Amino acid sequence: RSCLARCMRSGSTRRFAAGLLALWVAGGVLYGKLYQEWSTTESFYFAVLTMSTFGSGHHPATGSGAQVFVTLYIISGVPVFLYAMGVYSGALVIFLQKYAHGWLMVNRLSPTIAAELDTDGDGLVEWDEYFEGMLVRLGYCRASEIERIRNSFKEKLHDLDKKHCQSNACPCTPRISGAARL
């Protein structure tokens, strides 16, 4: 994954963006309350509209000091707003790629795909078969990698079973429950 994708997924990046945005909005609200004598609602309205580049035409700054503050507020606030929107839109895209695509795969599971996922041929798609099949279909790994990992686990489980059981038909072999009929 790219550095940008990792950063967009990071909870600390989203918290930083939210905190920075809240700090800038609070600055605009304080300005409106203290220097322009606006209500909290009007001050919040001013701060959000100014930062989002919609403008502050409804609440013009009066006085040269206020005009300088608003100019600096816009120059610094617009990048903060765009940064926060970029972080949250990136996080939304990653969420949609990760979860919505998987959800669509679950709800569009055709009999043909279900038959492909039933790797043991018992007529049921167990959870592990479904999970492995979706990893391959979504491009997270290749089927050969899944097979190699599965065989490695089978060997380890077989070694454990030999230590704990006396027969080949050992009842302690783990089996994942929950399956869907084809």
pLDDT in tens, 127-156: 778 878 878 887 888 888 888 887 887 777
Alpha carbons 67 and 31: distance in angstroms, whole number: 12
pTM of the model: 0.47
Of the ranges 41-45, 47-51, 128-132, which one carries the lowest mean pLDDT score?
128-132
CA atoms within 13 A on the CB side of 139: 3
pLDDT at 174: 46
Tokens of 42: 């009007």
**What does residue 165 show for φ and ψ, rounded to 5 degrees?**
-125, 160
* Beta carbons of 129 and 44 less than 8 angstroms apart: no
In this predicted model, what pLDDT tens digit does every residue of 60-93 receive, in sequence order? 777 778 888 888 888 888 899 888 888 888 888 7
* Beta carbons of 84 and 17 less than 8 angstroms apart: yes
* Beta carbons of 20 and 80 less than 8 angstroms apart: yes
Which residues, in sequence order, are CB contacts of 88 under 8 Å at separation 6+?
Answer: 14, 17
